Amino acid sequence: MAFESLTEKLNAAFKKMRGKGRLKEADIKEAMREVRLALLEADVGFKVVRDFVNTVSERSLGADVLESLSPAQMVIKIVNEELCALMGGANAKLEISPKPPTVVMLIGLQGAGKTTNGAKLAAHMRKHHGKNPLLVACDIYRPAAILQLQTVGKQLDIPVFEMGTEKPVDIAKASIEYANKHGNDIVFLDTAGRLHIDDALIDELKTVKAAVGPTEIMLVVDAMTGQDAVNAASAFNDALGIDSVMLTKLDGDARGGAALSVRAVTGKPIKFTGIGEKLDQFEPFHPDRMASRILGMGDMLTLIEKAEQAFDEKKAQEMASKLLKNKFTLSDYYEQLIQLKSMGGLSDIAGMLPGVDAKALAGATIDNSLMTKTEAIILSMTPYERENPSVLNSNRKKRIAAGSGTAVVDINRLLKQFDMMRTMTKQMTKGKMPAMFGGKNLFRG
């Protein structure tokens, strides 16, 4: 999980401060030393760290902090505000041309995830902004690049424009004409990458840029490459003039330094992040929410949004009613597993909850094969048994195992998981995470 180690170290530094009540200047300086080390270990650039720590130190040593009744909280608030500012302050939207089509030129090094995440972005713009996207295969060099774009386009039901190995500039120009004729109001140019930035790559990108005049040039960078990602962003910006950044594989980098450095180094906003390999693991980048996650404060807004997208409102209301009456059954349990699966791994969800240790659930996911087995077991039960799992004695379990093609040990494991889930849902009904089961109304009255 991104920022995992940074979150741990920052929380350790702040824990010392909280235990001291009134803070002295020496206490703040000690905390800032630990913050500096934590950021450097997270692979944040030295200059970025130096400027960040100087700004936080200056604000924290002010009289309003040292004389505050809860100075530790004031320092954490300042760190939160400065982290947010470091990453851009607010979510930046994709630039939309007043005269369609909007042309987004996706650039980046080979292996950054440009093709797949460009398609994810196209799907995002269709789903959340009502756009009619077109994907354009301008990478004529990488083996199977066109096929890869066609495959992911088919999976997302997004059209792909390609002209084989024609010149990329000709493909780009022809795609704009195609979009105008077919009503595609946003075009994503999937350009070629290289293993490193060279003159041939930059010249080709400059030619395409001059020919089509893209509305936005978005650089796709791999967060797992750390400072190399930041260096690449700086080089592309100097050579081509980028407008925004998309960070991919953010879920695979426990340090997260690229997310904290790239905005400061390039001055360009991070607009989107790829947070997994699945085609729905993609989201807009919100600096304030990310700062909150880094400080272990959770990210309830993103969790609410994920829940609202994953859960049918009518079913959610029915589930809320059952939970309030403490009538959560095995049938409900199975339905919740399916919906939880659509929201991502359990560790991802836990990381959005204030005060929950996401590391304890690291790697926790719902296995498809286990889902199939769970369904078979539950469907082999009688309606009465689903409603009253406490009646499942050894004879009933043997019958269910035979009917579902499983073993008694599998049924026992399921019942144990069910009890854990029921315990968790009781906590949710007390206000910890009602949106997942109660939908919009439980959150917004």
Q: How confident is the model at residue 124 (pLDDT cuts 50, 70, 90)?
A: very high
Looking at 272, 294, 316, the residue that finishes a domain is 294
Q: Which domain holds residue 260?
A: 102-294
Do 315 and 364 belong together in one domain? Answer: yes
Using the predicted structure, report yes or no on whether residue 332 has a pLDDT greater than 90: no
Q: What is the pLDDT of residues 36-58, one digit of tens each?
A: 998 888 888 888 899 999 999 88
Do 284 and 187 belong together in one domain? Answer: yes
Establish if 217 belongs to a structural domain. yes
What pLDDT is attached to residue 10? 84
The model's pTM is: 0.68
Using the predicted structure, report yes or no on whether residue 133 has a pLDDT greater than 50: yes
Do 116 and 197 belong together in one domain? Answer: yes
Q: What is the mean pLDDT of the chain?
A: 81
Instruction: List the alpha helices (DSSP H) in 352-407.
Output: 368-379, 383-387, 394-404
Establish if 24 belongs to a structural domain. yes
Do 358 and 433 belong together in one domain? Answer: yes
Token pair, residue 438, equals 């109660």
Q: How confident is the model at residue 304 (pLDDT cuts 50, 70, 90)?
A: low
| Cα–Cα distances in angstroms (integers) from residue 221 to residues 108, 115, 260, in the given order | 6, 12, 13
Residue 223 · residue 254 · CB < 8 Å: no
Number of domains present in the structure of the chain: 3
Using the predicted structure, report yes or no on whether residue 436 has a pLDDT greater than 50: no
What pLDDT is attached to residue 225? 79
Establish if 97 belongs to a structural domain. no
Looking at 249, 264, 294, the residue that finishes a domain is 294
Do 333 and 366 belong together in one domain? Answer: yes
Q: What is the pLDDT of residues 225-235, one digit of tens each?
A: 777 888 888 88
Using the predicted structure, report yes or no on whether residue 169 has a pLDDT greater than 80: yes
What pLDDT is attached to residue 435? 40
Do 29 and 116 belong together in one domain? Answer: no
What pLDDT is attached to residue 443? 32
Using the predicted structure, report yes or no on whether residue 440 has a pLDDT greater than 50: no
Do 118 and 189 belong together in one domain? Answer: yes
> In the chain, what percentage of residues exceed pLDDT 70?
76
Q: What is the pLDDT of residues 76-114, one digit of tens each?
A: 888 888 988 988 888 889 999 999 999 999 999 988 889
CATH number for the domain harbouring residue 121? 3.40.50.300
Establish if 96 belongs to a structural domain. no
C-alpha closest to that of 110 among 139, 151, 135: 139
CATH number for the domain harbouring residue 319? 1.10.260.30
Do 261 and 124 belong together in one domain? Answer: yes
Token pair, residue 200, equals 């041939």
Establish if 95 belongs to a structural domain. no
- Mapping DSSP to helix (H, G, I), strand (E, B) and coil, where does residue 271 land? strand
What's the mean pLDDT in 237-259?
A: 82
Establish if 93 belongs to a structural domain. no
Looking at 294, 324, 353, the residue that finishes a domain is 294
Q: How confident is the model at residue 156 (pLDDT cuts 50, 70, 90)?
A: very high
Q: How confident is the model at residue 218 (pLDDT cuts 50, 70, 90)?
A: very high
Establish if 222 belongs to a structural domain. yes
Do 242 and 306 belong together in one domain? Answer: no
ω before 434 within 30° of 0 (cis)? no
Establish if 358 belongs to a structural domain. yes
- Mapping DSSP to helix (H, G, I), strand (E, B) and coil, where does residue 1 land? coil
| Residue of 14 and 183 predicted with greater confidence | 183
CATH number for the domain harbouring residue 20? 1.20.120.140
What pLDDT is attached to residue 317? 63
Do 81 and 199 belong together in one domain? Answer: no
| Residue of 106 and 427 predicted with greater confidence | 106
- What residues contact residue 129 under an 8 Å CB cut-off, 6+ apart? none
**Residue 395 neighbours by CB distance under 10 Å:** 8
Do 54 and 134 belong together in one domain? Answer: no
Do 137 and 221 belong together in one domain? Answer: yes
Strands of 242-389 (E only): list them.
244-248, 270-274, 282-284
